[in-house]
Amino acid sequence: MLMTLILILGSLMSGLSAQEVVAVTVRHEVTGQTTSLDAAALERFNEQWRGKQVSASDGDPNWEARLDIAFAGESGGRWFYALNGDLQVLAMKHVTRYRVPNPEAMNRLLGLVVPGRVDEAAPARD
């Protein structure tokens, strides 16, 4: 009985992290530009989304973008995104902050790489 309960809870928890993202609209906070991801970009976004982990970051990040994310079979939500790869849903209460596995790839995918700008996501080159 206990083993069955553990298996059910485990499958529910894995379902939360495996939500399929079906649409993403990105609003760049600096430029105000709004774009939507196409099908190929959504595939790459889903790879990052499935790999996200709880972030160990402290303090308030510099949120560079707002992401309106729609999930298959359920409503979506607005998330904040920082160049270090941190994501956090917009909420009135304390919520968990996550980090994508490859922030540099996610920044390029979301169109957040600004030419000539130096930051932690795009270190200066010699």
Tokens linked to 1: 């009985």
Predicted local confidence at residue 63, as pLDDT: 95
What strands, in cross-sheet order, belong to the sheet with 63-71?
A: 34-36, 21-28, 63-71, 74-82, 86-89, 98-99, 53-54
Q: Taking a C-beta distance cutoff of 8 angstroms, is the pair 41, 70 a contact? A: no
Q: For residue range 54-74, list pLDDT tens digits in order.
A: 998 878 889 999 999 999 988
Euclidean distance between CA atoms 36 and 73, whole angstroms: 19
Predicted local confidence at residue 80, as pLDDT: 97
**Is the model's pLDDT at 120 over the cut of 80?**
no
Q: For residue range 11-47, list pLDDT tens digits in order.
A: 334 444 568 999 999 999 988 999 999 999 999 999 9
Tokens linked to 116: 């000539």
User: In the chain, where are the structural domains located?
Assistant: 21-109
Count of Cβ atoms closer than 10 Å to residue 39 Cβ: 6
What pTM was estimated for this model as a whole?
0.75
